[in-house]
Amino acid sequence: MSLFISNAYADSAAAAPQGGGWDLIIMLLAFGLIFYFLIYRPQAKRVKEHRNLMSALGKGDEVLTQGGIVGRISKIADDKDFVTVALNDSTEVTVQKSAISAVLPKGTLKSL
């Protein structure tokens, strides 16, 4: 028909491969396992450890907040999920329990 382009016809011998879709199912399962072990499980472990840390807080613990403030817990309000952190003898700051990132070993404030 065309002067420069020849007509292309589909090859009837090369049919589409017939399969049950098992390769797709196996690949989805592999991606699900990778997602679980590399993303979900470590994050759930960190959340559980932080929840245990918040429930174990006590008066007199030396803590580090997410903002970088280091101080000693002077008062805990259980009903409101807030703690009062004493930075020195005269300065106190009220922060949420969830803002505490770590409990420091005793004597850390004196060594700073």
Q: Please choose, from the candidates 70, 100, 69, 66, the residue with its C-alpha nearest in 3D space to the C-alpha of residue 82.
A: 100
Specify if 77 maps to a domain. Answer: yes
- pLDDT at position 91 is 95
Length of the chain in terms of residues written: 112
Specify if 105 maps to a domain. Answer: yes
Specify if 88 maps to a domain. Answer: yes
Mean pLDDT (whole number) for 82-97: 93
CATH number at residue 76: 2.30.30.140
Categorize the per-residue pLDDT at 61 as very low, low, confident or very high, splitting at 50, 70 and 90: very high
Specify if 95 maps to a domain. Answer: yes
Q: Which residue is it, tokens 């952190």?
A: 85
**Cα–Cα distance between 98 and 101 in angstroms, integer?**
8
| Cβ atoms < 10 Å from Cβ of 57 | 15
Return the DSSP state at 39: I
Cβ atoms of 72 and 61 within 8 Å: the answer is yes
Q: Domain range holding 91? A: 57-111
Amino acid identity at 9: Y
Specify if 51 maps to a domain. Answer: no
Based on the structure, what is the number of domains in the chain? 1
**Which range among 30-34, 38-42, 73-77 shows the weakest confidence by mean pLDDT?**
73-77
Specify if 9 maps to a domain. Answer: no
Specify if 2 maps to a domain. Answer: no
Specify if 23 maps to a domain. Answer: no
Residue 90 above 90 pLDDT?
Answer: yes
Question: By CB neighbour count within 10 A (0-12 exposed, 13-18 middle, 19+ buried), where does 93 fall?
Answer: middle
**Cα–Cα distance between 103 and 112 in angstroms, integer?**
15
**Cα–Cα distance between 63 and 101 in angstroms, integer?**
8
